[in-house]
Amino acid sequence: MANDPPTETPDRGQNDVKQDDAPATAPTPQTTVSRPQPARKPSKRSYSGKKETMNGPLYMQASNNVVIVRRLKRNGEGAIKQLTRWFVENQIGFSFNLLALLFLAHGIPRARTHTIKYFTLSYHNPQSGLYGIGWDDTYLTAFCVLLFTLLRASVMEYVLAPFAKSQGVSKRKDITRFSEQAWLLMYYTVFWSMGVYIYVNSPHYLNLHELWTSWPVREISGLMKGYMLAQLAFWVQQILVINIEERRKDHWQMFAHHIVTNALIFASYRYGHTRVGNLILVLMDVVDLFFPAAKCLKYLGYNTLCDVMFGLFMVSWFIARHVLYVYVCWSVYAHTPDIMPTGCFSGPDTNRSGPLDPPTTKGSWYLLEPLWDSEGLVCYDEKVKWIFLSMLLFLQALTIMWFTLIVQLAIKVLRGGSAEDPRSDDEGEDLEDEDEYVYEEAQPLEEEVGVEALDLKNWERRTGVKRQATTATGVSLPGHSDRKELLGRIGCEKQVD
């Protein structure tokens, strides 16, 4: 989506006269010696289109008839940097090819028993109509990661970026940021709505006590299972996104946030706490409806609407993430000891045994057993409570840190400023990170051929020029045929006797 630098047609120097326009005089046969051209100093050009030392298209001709080629140079790039840049530039083709290969493999009858796991929910129980959990869920999650990668890159490249340009957004960074925020707005509109639908039609709707009843739950509805796995896939893909694309100043805070979010979604899914997982996702996602909308309005130039949307974003952030979210954390601390049975359980829901005493020979490793064994021990005690509560409070600490930036931004708006994201790119505003255009002399492709090898008839058809027996003045060059004249006209550097 980057805009290429504007191209200019280089002016010909006074000495750069076309051969066809030269005075028709009989040239003196001579030998031309090819001289090496001096190395040219690389020159930088930014994506802002501002000329620094050299401007021109991909290929240009200097005043001394030397063809200069322009290439994009990357300074100090290691193998990992080059790999991530390649993935960013080819993520549409990469993800599409993998998905196409998967669908093609699914067309093979013998492979369908394996590929079907990528497209459907696993562990269906026909007796209860519910779905269990297990490692086969990894296949569908991987499929969703690839699908989100393809959808995100394709929608940004072919829908959102052209729309931003049509609305007058011209800077490359602004187009990219608009596309990113618009994609997030689309995603959260779909999955927040789905999460709210699940929450409203669940027994824990507006009842925190019901978050913890009937535990352990190892079979859930197909809608809840698909919702949790899709959310997990999205946040896994977000970890990939923030590490391959341009970094912001709060990169490591965002990275920690994404790691903890993935850990909470995965743990709540494997531990049978999908009810509280659904509620927390609904509370978090509602805020991400207003912020991307505010950013998109800003990039489109609707500053007043942006400020209004930012005000709604600020209010929703405070209520959802610092009031209701804290209330859920308090429920984990206060309600779970009274409602959830203390001890361990094992087996599926249809053949569950427990409560059992925690094993004494495994140390604290038994607490992690549900993460890899869907029918193994799943326990609740003070350790489990504080592990979950600590991760939730860590997210709360991050949101408090970000909320201080929001308050500072709100004060700026009230003083007459505009609502701008306080987080900025690590790179400069106009210069791309470590990018520069380098102009080098193009090396000609030389091949020794005889005069008889020239196909003059084919040359006549391509150029429309008819051969003549004499030069333009009617003076014949002794010892020179039409082929020899052609060699001079096309710049041959050897005299032909």
DSSP letters spanning 409-447: HHHHHHTT-----S--BSS-SSS-TTEEEEEEEPPP---
Please state the φ and ψ torsions of residue 408, each to the nearest 5 degrees: -60, -40
Task: List helix spans (H) across 212-273.
Answer: 222-244, 251-270
Query: Residue 230: its pLDDT value, please?
Result: 96
> Would you state the pLDDT for residue 180?
92
Residue 39, pLDDT score: 45
Run of H or E including 206: none
What gap in Å lies between CA 439 and CA 73, rounded to an integer? Answer: 10
DSSP 8-state symbol, 320: I
Dihedral sign, CA of 345, 347, 350, 356? negative
Residue with tokens 């990113």: 180
Q: Among 195, 395, 238, 413, which residue's Cα sits nearest to residue 309? A: 413
Say how far apart CA 493 and CA 487 lie, in whole Å.
Answer: 9
**Residue ranges in the chain modelled with pLDDT below 70:** 1-77, 417-497
pLDDT attached to residue 150? 95
Cβ pair 398, 257 in contact under 8 A? yes
Nearest Cα residue to 28 out of 468, 343, 496, 477: 477
* Residue in the structure block whose two tokens are 């990992």: 80
| Phi-psi group of 343: left, alpha or beta (phi > 0 → left; psi -120 to 50 → alpha; rest → beta) | left
Instruction: Report pTM.
Output: 0.70
- Compute the C-alpha angle 182/185/187, nearest 5°: 110
In single-letter form, the type of residue at position 433 comes to: D
Cα(100)–Cα(105) distance, integer angstroms: 9
State residue 414's pLDDT score: 79
Q: Which residue has the tokens 């550097």?
A: 493
Whether the Cβ atoms of residue 289 and residue 417 lie closer than 8 Å to each other: no
pLDDT score at 438: 54
**Which positions ≥6 away from 335 have C-beta within 8 Å?**
208, 209, 211, 212
Residue 44 is predicted with a pLDDT of 41
Q: Which residue intervals of 300-381 are DSSP H helices?
A: 303-319, 325-334, 336-339
How many other CB atoms are there within 10 angstroms of residue 36's CB atom? 6
Q: Are 159 and 180 in contact (CB under 8 A)?
A: no
Preceding peptide of 5 cis, ω within 30°: no
How does DSSP classify residue 131? B
Rounded Cα distance between 164 and 182, Å, is 10
